[in-house]
Amino acid sequence: MNIVVLVLGATAFYTIVGQLVPQKEVPAPEVIEISKDVTTEEMVEIGKGIAQGKGTCLTCHTIGQSGSLRFPDLDGIGTRAATRIPGMSAVDYLAQSLYEPNAYVVEGFNPGMPVINKPPIQLTDDEILAVIAFLQSLGGTPSVTMETKLSINGGAGGDSTATATAALVQEAASLDGKALFERYGCARCHATTLPGKRLDRAEVLASILSPDSITTLAGAEQAKKRQAMEQSGVYDKATLQEIDRIVDYLMEQKAKE
Amino acid sequence: MKNAAWKWIVLVAPFVMLLPEPAAAAELELGTDAQQKAGKVVYERYCSQCHGTEGDGKGYAASHLRPRPRDFTSGKFKIRTTPSGALPTDDDLRRVIRDGMPYTTMIGWPNLSDQDVTNVIYYIKTFTKDFKNRDYYAQPIAIPEPPPHDADSAKKGREVYLQMECHRCHGDQGRADGASAPSLVNDAGEPILPADLTKRWTFRGGPARRDIYRTFSTGLNGTPMPSYADSLTDTQRWQLVDYVYSLGAADTPNYAERVVSRSIADDLDMTKGEALFDGAEGAFLPLFGQIVEPGRAFHPNATGIEVKAVHNREHIAFLLRWNDMRADRTGENSPALEAPETTETVEEAASQASSTEESDPFADAVEPEVAGDATDDFFSDDGSAETASGGEAGFSDAVAVQFPAALPDGIRLPYFIFGDPDNPVDIWFADLAKPAPQRFVGRGSRSVAPGNPDGLEMTASYDAGVWSVIFKRKRRQEDAMAIEGGQWYPVAFSVWDGLSGDRGNKRALTRWYYIYVEPAETVGPLRPMAKAAVATFGIEIVLIALIRRKHKNGVSIPPTNP
Amino acid sequence: MNLLVVLPILVALGALRLLKAGLLAWMIALWMAIYLTLRYGFAVPIPASVITLYMGITTMALATYVLSSRERFASCSRPLIALVVERRLRTLLIVVVLGLPLLVAARIYTNMSQPLQPPSFARTVHPAPPSEPITVRGQTFDLNAVENPFRNLEKSDPSQFRVHVENGRRVYYQNCVYCHGDNVQGDGLFAHGVNPIPTNFRDSGTIAMLQEGFLFWRIAKGGPGMPGEGGPWESAMPAWENFLTVDEMWDVILFLYDHTGQRPREVEEHAK
Amino acid sequence: MSKSRILVIGVGAFIGLIVFAFVARQTLVVFDHAYRTPVEADHPDRTPAMQGEADSRAAQAEKQRKQPLAEHGVPLKDVEYRAFPGVGSRVAIWSVAQLHLLFAAFVLAVPIFALIIELIGYFTGDKRYDRLAHEFTKLLSVSFSLTATLGAGLTFMLIILYPRFTQYLMHVFSPTFLPYVLLFFLESGFLYAYYYGWGKFPPVAHLTLGIALNVVGTGIMVIANSWLTFMMSPSGVSESGALISTWQAVDNYTWMPINVHRFIANVAFGGSIAAAYAAFKFLHATSDEERAHYDWMGYIGNFVAIIAFLPLPFAGYWLAKEIYAYSQTMGLTMMGGAFSWLFIIQAVLIGCLFIGANLYLWLGMGRIEGAQRYKGYIKYLLFVIAVCFAVWATPRSPITTPVEVREMGGSFHPVLGKLGVMSAKNTAVNLLILTTYLSFLIYRRSGITPTVSWARRGKALQLLTFIASAGVVISLGVLGYFVPTTVRIGLSVPQVISVLAALVVVTAIDILMFRGAETVGETRWGQMPAISQYILIFIAVTFTWLMGLMGYVRSGLRQHWHVYGVIRDTSPDAFTPTLGFATKVVSVNVLLFFILIALVFWLSGLSSKKDWRARGTDAS
């Protein structure tokens, strides 16, 4: 009888100890679908989720800690990445450290990071792009998109990089100012003939890049217009060259007058 | 100046004649040269940045301070124990230096040594010739022990209050909303605010009944607040004190740390007004000027906002109350409006810095405005007369409740000033010139965009100096963070005062607070208490029974040696 | 360690020693002494969960000691059995039997009626600055190596140094005074409205412990520039790069050290 | 006034004052606080467990919907999982596997154990040992069949519940099954021959039989270990899981450490169960002679358990090191991720084991005359053990309320935070081992006095060794706070070496020193307080529980993988459950094991009972 009580008591005691510690279930990682048309900002968000969860990056890496760390801190990696290996771009460096983690080990640390696109972590190439976007956002500005082709990705698709880039350039080059004007939705608000009448080329360019700089409006109206410009997304999508071409097109309209 | 001095002589003369010469005053305690010199060192180190090296109240900080730093050359001191118009005693000065004045940048200097304070007082006295003139001295007024405070006395005080026309400045309910309040100026022509009598803790002279009595008996020199030593009897003054005292709830603001939304079963009927919130715990939260982002407000009029919240299964409602000098129901307001840049904009600072390198940095880089300048205005920093008067061309009063757009999954909240690009905030906005509420999505103070106001309801009323705004929303709504019972949610508030030209970033605001939404059903303590007690009792009884059975025949001690 | 708590406990234990107290008394006294030390004896309170753990271990260790020989067990159990069995101790027994459940119930009551506490999160007081260079108004600064460009004037050109300090004073009283206060003690006009509270520069645990580069970083980037680990991020510290020039920020740093009479921490030499 | 009066008054006043303060405070608090509603969420978060349940319900519904199609039977290869009714597949497999492993451990341990004792008996000529070894072997036959039954159950359940995974494992390990079965066959042959041949063979032949039995048993364990270590750290297969080399699959990263770890742990486990058996018998013994025998048996069992237990942490280090070497991810999941709190529970268990083992030794001193002179040391030993225990169990970032966080100014306590790190914990564990060994030394010499001329110097040397070892451990522990991580991790090795060296040196000196020692006090076997026997049972329960828990860690580390990185767990149970849930399952398994082991004890006890007919004649 006493023995039964003792056995029950001891097991109960250990069970209670087990209930006193923090209780956390760890879900199995879900498959994350990333469509090709997400923006870089959305990629940062997705990448952040992956880094915290499925990618298990933050089990080892810290963000913004110092002291005696076991793994390099990720804060500021967005800018630091470009300086690690001379001649290697930030994106390529980050890709290398995910696909071939032991190729370059930061001084003072031990190698030991798993290859991220292999099991058990096994992120897909798309997920890794998102993680790179997130890493770039730590202290820098993300530049990758879902279309970015990595020069290092575990051997896959190495050859297609050059051709794909060329195709992109070609496509952008093929659009003239008018097409771009429409593509970025300028025509939704602006009449094509208006700005060229009053402003010179530099002023037109300035008023696109910095809507507040040249305006007759003030107060709330000015703010509304500026926000409309900001929310049109043109700053996110268009390159400077493209904006230049739009201005060219607008100046042509003036010349036609 | 001459004129004013003459006035004082007339005012002070009776006292000087009536009262015996105080020994201290007779000595003209101006200190030795060495003491004044030592005082000068302390003064220039700790005081001159606001009060100016010349003691003229035009130090570095002066331009954005309301009230302005004291101009020692004028010889007028507000907080004194001496009769109206007279100079303060050394102790009066010492008290202000030591304790400071609440709700001004004069915080108080408890760390200075007694010697330093004395020296500084001697040095301050050199700024005006008045201290050398025995005629301006007067015996301090004796402040008696306060008589017992009672409701009847306060009631009589109310009559005195109306009779003396205090309400013309301080408002009917003491909320500083009197008809002439916005146009008050001090002797130097600078605008000045009447005290909000419901907030005793902001009284510059202190919140105690003796402090209030002192103000009535001495007046505040240089301000429109007169002395009532002649016009009211001692009893009447105490009655007035009691009335003023009854207007405020406490000597301290008792700022809350959190808001608790009360769970009720009934419908949230907005027509019930404030009665809807009976029984809900009021949280009084401090407001401070938005001085973080460009378009800064250095001296917002509202210093606190009272928040109450209730909810039922479907809806949640907030009651927001704050004191406002004047209801501005015309014009417009919006968190997206551009607020005027203050002088320390990047551009100006840059030009200042470049001038620093070339020339003398001591050169007055501050705005060259002069105190007493006609364009100076309490309510605005941009100096435009148009905004100060409010009205058609100006801005209306407004209030906003701010939530995160989505419940943060980590511990990082959106930036407290209208969110940040990664973590937007949901802003419920009431432009009090408009009948309907608005919603905005904030992604940073310069990136506030209109949102969908569907589902948000609002009523507002202004009564005797206080705005009451009620917001109501569904607890679960597709495009907003769901508000569930038993949870904490971050919340923040903003108040725009149209009279001060507040708009956009220029406003008073709170940091993030947390609101707790009470669950519909709660567990009482009795059942678990009873359970535990009974269980303990049971175990005891079993143990006792076991031990007794084993030791039936008295204490049979286990053998010490086997 | 809180000596006000620890010393009386030691004194009481010493008294027990002098009185040659019985084993049971010793065990109870030790248990309580350890509990009181853990609960109140530390300047920074120990979390309740850890106290529970330690008290569990203490209980186990004391029980082990009592059980470790027959004599010890007997000397502990004798008074307890006497309490239960002996007639003359009946009143005491009733008091204990009724008192214990009441105490337990009261404990539950207090546990359940803790006032509502809003969630709060740990604050890193001096978060580590970013290790890569920061960009302020178009200039790049490596925070590990940056030095105040005007600091050397202190020796080389004292009068020019005073000029910079004075300019820093102007900057401080035009910008910082609202929160950090006229006495640079973090008690400015708006301080009561913000959380975390503004830094008290007179506290020797603040600027005296930091390099000027750290101050520059905090001033230039403010609350929004707080790194991931540097929470809470509600800090109302503005990013002063929006308002001040680089030189003004360095000047105000000079002023802060000058005004409080403290010296900045030197930049450590990097071992190569 | 008498002295006792003063004492009562003094102590009473002190305790009374404290009690009064406590009651007063509690009363004040009760009357001060208006009751406020406790903070309770009225809607729980959607946890993975709920998600899993919802998923399996959805799967059921889906199955129902598709029922008409499935009527003709689903081909085996299309089925990935089948559900176990009630508790679910995972818990069912978990319980059966754990019971199987516990019995297997017992079955493997007892022969090792019996062989050692038999050898001692053979060399010393002490008949008691022979009797003891025989009695242990009695427990074997029933346990053996139970182990086999559970093993068969486990296999069937794996095939039924996890067909795809089982198929894969069988594919990879197909060449190992035949040797396994053959070894099993040999095992049963040797085992029954060893048991039934007791006293029938010449001693050397019987001993050889015992050695063969152990070799075969260990072989079985080693083969089975390869399967489960492959699941954890697969090798010898391609990324997609195709088999490259069966031998590499067997010889994976964690195979050898697990073999060693399990071998040692089995000895310790067997010892503790044998001790528990002896304790059970002791408590039910009727004669002094019986009591003396079972007291001695319990002592030997416990002695073997503790001696085997001391090097176990080092084997554990090795295993953990190999896990890190195989996959950093897995290593960090273990020590820093989802399982980090489990090691706090482990610390509690091992702390209890150490305290229990020491307490048993101290109580044992009660039955030795002349042990009185060492009693005073107990409190110091206990103090060191308690402090080390507390340090070891200190969490790095404790559970805190928001108020406490604000008071601490961060999630680490400024003082306790320093105790939560590896440097402190390694130091604590090593000191625990040293102290326990010291306890044992004291016990050992309590009844004897050395006669050799250099006894004083020998004792001084032993003490010096202890102090030196403790000094090395502590100073390296302190050093750990000041060196970079890469160096710090390496520091545990010299710590361990210094402790092991100290144990060896001290033991060597002790053996030499007490050769021909003079006996000052007789050990009176059977004169043990009953409480000591309960402690033996407590140790056995703790040990079993610890094995269950560590088995869960080893298995749970794979998280959502059947074979780590190769075959994903896509069942609704793919999530890692909470530690609270795991401890509940472990507790149930431990209770089941003890019910079954009680059955084993009862069955093996039957043979020694009097014949039914004989009893019948007695009665008449």
CA-based nearest residue in chain C for residue D419: C50
Given this model, what pLDDT does residue C160 score? Answer: 92
Q: Are residues D118 and D162 in the same domain?
A: yes
CATH number for the B258-341+378-517 domain, one of 3.10.450.30, 2.40.110.10, 3.40.50.1820, 2.60.40.1190?
2.60.40.1190
Chains that touch B (3 or more CB pairs under 8 A): A, C, D
Average pLDDT, chain B: 82
Q: Is A219 on the interface with B (CB under 8 A)?
A: yes
Spatial separation of the C-alpha atoms in residues B95 and B211, rounded to whole Å? 12
Average pLDDT over residues C118-124: 63
Report residue C128's pLDDT band, with 50, 70 and 90 as the boundaries: low
Q: Is the pLDDT of residue B194 over 80?
A: yes
Q: Is the pLDDT of residue B199 over 90?
A: yes
Q: Is B361 on the interface with D (CB under 8 A)?
A: no
Tell me which residue of D172, D169, D183, D176 sits closest to D218, measured CA to CA: D183
Least confident residue range of B79-88, B219-228, C19-28, D74-83? D74-83
Mutate to test the interface with B, among D29, D30, D35, D42 (most CBs of B within 10 A): D42
Least confident residue range of A78-92, A103-117, B12-26, D226-240? B12-26
ipTM of the complex: 0.60
Q: Is the pLDDT of residue A197 over 70?
A: no
CA distance to partner chain B, nearest, from residue C38 (Å): 26
Given this model, what pLDDT does residue D78 score? Answer: 56
Q: Is the pLDDT of residue B472 over 90?
A: yes
The number of domains in chain C is 2
Average pLDDT over residues B167-188: 89
Report residue D239's pLDDT band, with 50, 70 and 90 as the boundaries: low
Pairing of strands B258-263, B513-517: parallel
CA-based nearest residue in chain B for residue D34: B525
Pairing of strands B457-463, D448-449: unpaired
Given this model, what pLDDT does residue B378 score? Answer: 56
Least confident residue range of A103-117, B228-242, B246-260, D586-600? A103-117
Spatial separation of the C-alpha atoms in residues B515 and C75, rounded to whole Å? 57
Report residue B525's pLDDT band, with 50, 70 and 90 as the boundaries: confident
Report residue C231's pLDDT band, with 50, 70 and 90 as the boundaries: low
**CATH code for the structural domain at A174-256:** 1.10.760
Chains that touch C (3 or more CB pairs under 8 A): A, B, D
Select the residue of D48, D561, D583 nearest A18 (Cβ to Cβ). Answer: D583
Neighbours of A149 (CB within 10 A): 17
Q: How far is CA D442 from CA D219, D309, D311, D423, in A?
A: 38, 19, 20, 29
Given this model, what pLDDT does residue D70 score? Answer: 42
Could you tell me if residue D276 is inside a domain? Answer: yes
Given this model, what pLDDT does residue D240 score? Answer: 67
CATH number for the B151-247 domain, one of 3.40.50.970, 1.10.760.10, 1.10.10.10, 3.40.50.2300?
1.10.760.10
- The fold adopted by the segment(s) A40-160 is Cytochrome Bc1 Complex; Chain D, domain 2 (1.10.760)
Given this model, what pLDDT does residue D615 score? Answer: 60
- Ramachandran angles phi, psi of C141, nearest 5°: -130, 130
Q: Is A21 on the interface with D (CB under 8 A)?
A: yes
For residue A120, say if its preceding peptide bond is cis, omega within 30 degrees of 0: yes
Spatial separation of the C-alpha atoms in residues C215 and C180, rounded to whole Å? 14
Spatial separation of the C-alpha atoms in residues D245 and C105, rounded to whole Å? 66
Report residue A56's pLDDT band, with 50, 70 and 90 as the boundaries: confident
Q: Quick check: C189 and B105 CB within 8 A?
A: yes
Given this model, what pLDDT does residue D330 score? Answer: 77
Q: Which domain holds residue C245?
A: 134-260
User: Which residues does chain B have within 8 Å of residue C186's beta carbon, measured at their own beta carbons?
Assistant: none
Domain boundary among the residues D490, D522, D554 is at: D522
Q: Are residues D219 and D86 in the same domain?
A: yes
CA distance to partner chain C, nearest, from residue D409 (Å): 6
Report residue D30's pLDDT band, with 50, 70 and 90 as the boundaries: low
Q: Quick check: D484 and A108 CB within 8 A?
A: yes
Given this model, what pLDDT does residue B363 score? Answer: 40
User: Which residues does chain B have within 8 Å of residue C175's beta carbon, measured at their own beta carbons?
Assistant: 344
Q: Are residues C174 and C101 in the same domain?
A: no
Select the residue of A17, A27, A68 nearest D484 (Cβ to Cβ). Answer: A68
The full set of domain ranges for chain A reads 40-160, 174-256
Neighbours of C72 (CB within 10 A): 17
Could you tell me if residue C141 is inside a domain? Answer: yes
Q: Quick check: A23 and D579 CB within 8 A?
A: yes
Helix (H) or strand (E) holding D182: helix D163-196
Q: Are residues C32 and C104 in the same domain?
A: yes
Tokens at residue D494, please? 């010299």
Select the residue of C52, C132, C229 nearest A63 (Cβ to Cβ). Answer: C229
Q: Are residues D380 and D357 in the same domain?
A: no
Q: How far is CA C217 from CA B247, B447, B537, C260, in A?
A: 47, 25, 63, 20
The number of domains in chain D is 2
Neighbours of D57 (CB within 10 A): 11
D92: left (phi over 0), alpha (psi -120 to 50) or beta: alpha
Could you tell me if residue C125 is inside a domain? Answer: no
Neighbours of D597 (CB within 10 A): 23
The DSSP bridge partners found for residue B463 are: B466
Which residues 21-60 of chain B have a CB within 8 Å of chain C? Answer: 45-46, 49-50, 59-60
CB B486, CB D42: distance < 8 Å? yes
The full set of domain ranges for chain B reads 2-136, 151-247, 258-341+378-517
Average pLDDT over residues D398-425: 71
User: Which residues does chain B have within 8 Å of residue C192's beta carbon, measured at their own beta carbons?
Assistant: 255, 286, 288
Q: Quick check: A10 and D542 CB within 8 A?
A: yes
CA distance to partner chain C, nearest, from residue D437 (Å): 17
CB D139, CB D299: distance < 8 Å? no
Least confident residue range of B62-71, D50-59, D446-455, D475-484? D50-59
Least confident residue range of B87-96, B328-337, D195-204, D580-589? D195-204
Spatial separation of the C-alpha atoms in residues D332 and D338, rounded to whole Å? 9
- The fold adopted by the segment(s) B2-136 is Cytochrome Bc1 Complex; Chain D, domain 2 (1.10.760)
Given this model, what pLDDT does residue C254 score? Answer: 93
Spatial separation of the C-alpha atoms in residues A61 and A113, rounded to whole Å? 10
Beta strands in B187-297 (DSSP E): 258-263, 283-286, 288-289
Given this model, what pLDDT does residue B553 score? Answer: 61
Task: Give tens-digit pLDDT for B418-451.
Answer: 988 888 999 999 999 999 999 999 998 888 999 8
Given this model, what pLDDT does residue D593 score? Answer: 93
Q: Is the pLDDT of residue D244 over 60?
A: yes
Q: Are residues D325 and D445 in the same domain?
A: no
Q: Is the pLDDT of residue B285 over 90?
A: yes
Select the residue of A20, A64, A83 nearest C228 (Cβ to Cβ). Answer: A64
Q: Which domain holds residue D502?
A: 369-522
Least confident residue range of B179-183, B383-387, C233-237? B383-387
Q: Is C70 on the interface with B (CB under 8 A)?
A: yes
Tell me which residue of D272, D313, D320 sits closest to D499, measured CA to CA: D313
Which residues 486-545 of chain B have a CB within 8 Å of chain D? Answer: 486-487, 516, 518-525
Task: Give the three-class secondary structure for B80.
Answer: coil
Greater pLDDT, B247 or A213: B247
Mutate to test the interface with B, among D26, D33, D37, D528 (most CBs of B within 10 A): D37
User: Which residues does chain C have within 8 Å of residue B544's beta carbon, measured at their own beta carbons?
Assistant: 84, 93, 97
Given this model, what pLDDT does residue B420 score? Answer: 86
Exposed, middle or buried, A217 (CB in 10 Å: 0-12/13-18/19+)?
middle
Q: Is C225 on the interface with B (CB under 8 A)?
A: no
Q: Is B201 on the interface with C (CB under 8 A)?
A: no
Greater pLDDT, A89 or C221: C221
Least confident residue range of C3-7, D117-121, D466-470, D486-490? D486-490
CB D216, CB D187: distance < 8 Å? yes
Q: Are residues C145 and C91 in the same domain?
A: no
CA distance to partner chain D, nearest, from residue A118 (Å): 8
DSSP string over chain A:
-HHHHHHHHHHHHHHHHHHHSPP--BPPPPPPP--TT--HHHHHHHHHHHHHTTT-HHHH--SS--SS-SS---TTHHHHHHHHSTT--HHHHHHHHHHSTTSS--TTS---PPPTTSTTT---HHHHHHHHHHHHHTTS-----TTPPPS-STTTT-THHHHHHHHHHHHHHH--HHHHHHHTTGGGT--TTHHHHH--HHHHHHHHH-TTTS-S--HHHHHHHHHHHHHTTHHHH--HHHHHHHHHHHHHHHHH-
User: Which residues does chain B have within 8 Å of residue D43's beta carbon, measured at their own beta carbons?
Assistant: 484-486
Spatial separation of the C-alpha atoms in residues B110 and B118, rounded to whole Å? 13
- Percentage of the residues of chain D whose pLDDT score is greater than 90: 19
User: Which residues does chain A have within 8 Å of residue D330's beta carbon, measured at their own beta carbons?
Assistant: 120
Q: Is the dihedral of CA B162, B167, B168, B172 positive or negative?
A: negative
Least confident residue range of B359-363, B447-451, D97-101? B359-363
Q: Are residues C107 and C139 in the same domain?
A: no
Q: Is the pLDDT of residue A219 over 90?
A: no
Q: Quick check: D15 and C49 CB within 8 A?
A: no
Report residue B197's pLDDT band, with 50, 70 and 90 as the boundaries: very high
CB B185, CB B68: distance < 8 Å? no
Mutate to test the interface with D, among A2, A4, A15 (most CBs of D within 10 A): A15
Report residue D63's pLDDT band, with 50, 70 and 90 as the boundaries: low
Report residue B19's pLDDT band, with 50, 70 and 90 as the boundaries: very low
Q: Quick check: C236 and B353 CB within 8 A?
A: no
Report residue A69's pLDDT band, with 50, 70 and 90 as the boundaries: low
Q: Quick check: B518 and D37 CB within 8 A?
A: yes
Q: Are residues D263 and D114 in the same domain?
A: yes
Given this model, what pLDDT does residue B42 score? Answer: 92
- CA D284 to centroid of chain Cα atoms: 26
Given this model, what pLDDT does residue D288 score? Answer: 86
CB D577, CB D571: distance < 8 Å? no
Q: Is the pLDDT of residue B196 over 90?
A: yes
Task: Give the three-class secondary structure for D94.
Answer: helix
Domain boundary among the residues D522, D545, D570 is at: D522
Spatial separation of the C-alpha atoms in residues A207 and A213, rounded to whole Å? 6
Helix (H) or strand (E) holding B515: strand B513-517
Q: Say yes or no: do domains B2-136 and B151-247 share a fold.
A: yes
Q: Are residues C157 and C255 in the same domain?
A: yes
Q: How far is CA D434 from CA D101, D473, D495, in A?
A: 31, 10, 11
Q: Quick check: A220 and B449 CB within 8 A?
A: no
User: What is the identity of the amino acid at D335?
Assistant: M
Select the residue of B332, B336, B504 nearest A227 (Cβ to Cβ). Answer: B336
Domain boundary among the residues D471, D496, D522 is at: D522
Task: Give tens-digit pLDDT for D1-27.
Answer: 456 666 667 767 777 777 788 778 777
Q: Is the pLDDT of residue B147 over 70?
A: yes
Report residue D50's pLDDT band, with 50, 70 and 90 as the boundaries: low
Task: Give tens-digit pLDDT for C22-71.
Answer: 888 888 889 989 998 888 888 888 888 888 889 999 999 999 998 888 88
- CA D245 to centroid of chain Cα atoms: 34
Q: Quick check: C183 and B344 CB within 8 A?
A: no
Average pLDDT over residues C254-268: 82
Could you tell me if residue C119 is inside a domain? Answer: no
Q: Quick check: C20 and D7 CB within 8 A?
A: yes
Q: Are residues C8 and C107 in the same domain?
A: yes
Report residue C159's pLDDT band, with 50, 70 and 90 as the boundaries: very high
- CA C138 to centroid of chain Cα atoms: 38
Question: What's the longest Cα–Cα distance across chain A?
Answer: 107
Greater pLDDT, D94 or D484: D94
Crossing angle between the packed helical segments D127-161 and D89-124, to the nearest 10 degrees = 160
Q: Are residues C104 and C138 in the same domain?
A: no
Q: Is C67 on the interface with B (CB under 8 A)?
A: no
Could you tell me if residue D23 is inside a domain? Answer: no
Q: Is the pLDDT of residue C122 over 60?
A: no
Task: Give tens-digit pLDDT for B223-272.
Answer: 999 999 888 998 899 999 999 999 988 888 888 888 999 988 888 888 88
Mutate to test the interface with A, among C53, C124, C131, C221 (most CBs of A within 10 A): C131
Given this model, what pLDDT does residue A158 score? Answer: 40
